[in-house]
């Protein structure tokens, strides 16, 4: 009689244990489901953050693009400026070189022109020179002076028998000539000189006015 109530108690204890285990398992399942839901929410939040960050990065890149274009334009402008500056410098250098040569040529022209009256005097002295030692010294100086002029490309201007040319001749008189046509030089009164292609001093000449009139 006493053994049967004891068996009932054991059965009740076992049933209570099973119910407790089931409740614990249900609670654990609920917690796991909540945790999975929380993880899904976090992943969704991260995905949303990435999705919102992508347009921001694209916008930032788009804002940086005009800066690159501006830099390229500035670089092109500086290159153009440097090219223009170099061209201006080259023009300046050429102009200075041309002016230097022109200044030198004018100075040389003036010095050579100043020597011509000395040459004229020596020419007149040579016309009267004899065979004495003094005359020989005059010839030596005259020869040295002519050599000096020749080394600097100084040449005499052709006159007698040549057509009169206002560019290189200076007419001091016109007179009839039985041997020369009108406009032909018949006499030289002062020798003319050129240096290179430039007239150093025009030749002074008398020009034929044509055949003399016959009565």
161 CB-near residues (< 8 Å, 6+ apart):
180, 184, 185
Out of 23-27, 84-88, 127-131, the most confident range is 84-88
Lowest mean pLDDT among 15-24, 85-94, 149-158, 165-174: 15-24
Average pLDDT, the chain: 81
pLDDT category of residue 4 using cuts at 50, 70 and 90: very low
**Are 184 and 150 contacting, i.e. CB atoms less than 8 angstroms apart?**
no
Predicted confidence at residue 90, as pLDDT, reads: 92
Better-predicted residue by pLDDT, 1 or 160: 160
pLDDT for 183 beyond 80: yes
Residue 194 and residue 166: Cα distance in Å, rounded?
14
Q: What average pLDDT score do residues 146-163 get? A: 93
Question: Residue 3's pLDDT is what?
Answer: 43
In this prediction, residue 7 carries a pLDDT of 53
Q: How much is the average pLDDT of 166-184?
A: 94
* Percent of the chain predicted with pLDDT > 90: 44
For residue 21 the two structure tokens come to 């285990």
pLDDT band (50, 70, 90) for residue 120: very high
151 or 21, greater pLDDT: 151
| Residue 29 to residue 51: CA distance in whole angstroms | 33
What residue ranges define each of the domains in the chain, with the CATH number in brackets?
Answer: 154-215 (2.30.22.10)
- Strands of the sheet containing 198-201, edge to edge, are 154-156, 193-195, 198-201
Q: Give tens-digit pLDDT for 45-88.
A: 665 655 555 555 565 655 555 578 888 888 888 898 899 999 99
Task: Summarize the confidence of residues 109-135 as an average pLDDT.
Answer: 89
Q: At how many degrees (to 10) do helices 3-128 and 133-151 cross? A: 150
Model pLDDT, residue 130: 82
pTM more than 0.85: no
The average pLDDT across 183-192 equals 95
User: Which phi and psi (to 5°) does residue 174 adopt?
Assistant: -125, 135
Contacts of 170 (CB under 8 A, 6+ apart): 192, 202, 203, 204, 205
């Amino acid at each position: 009689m006493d053994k049967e109530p004891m068996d009932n108690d054991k059965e009740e204890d076992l049933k209570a244990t099973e119910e407790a285990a089931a409740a614990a398992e249900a609670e654990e399942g609920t917690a796991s489901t909540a945790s999975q839901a929380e993880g899904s929410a976090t992943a969704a939040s991260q995905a949303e953050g990435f999705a919102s960050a992508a347009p921001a990065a694209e916008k930032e890149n788009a804002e940086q693009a005009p800066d690159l274009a501006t830099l390229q334009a500035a670089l092109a402008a500086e290159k153009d400026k440097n090219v223009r500056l170099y061209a201006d410098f080259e023009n300046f250098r050429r102009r200075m070189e041309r002016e230097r040569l022109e200044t030198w040529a004018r100075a040389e022209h003036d010095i050579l022109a100043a020597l011509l009256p000395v040459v004229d005097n020596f020419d007149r002295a040579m016309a009267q020179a004899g065979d004495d030692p003094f005359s020989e010294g005059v010839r030596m100086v005259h020869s040295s002076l002519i050599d000096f002029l020749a080394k600097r490309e100084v040449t005499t201007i052709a006159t007698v028998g040549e057509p009169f040319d206002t560019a290189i001749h200076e007419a001091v008189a016109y007179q009839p000539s039985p041997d020369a046509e009108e406009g032909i030089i018949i006499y030289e009164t002062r020798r003319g000189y050129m240096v290179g292609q430039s007239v150093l001093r025009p030749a002074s000449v008398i020009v034929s006015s044509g055949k003399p009139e016959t009565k």
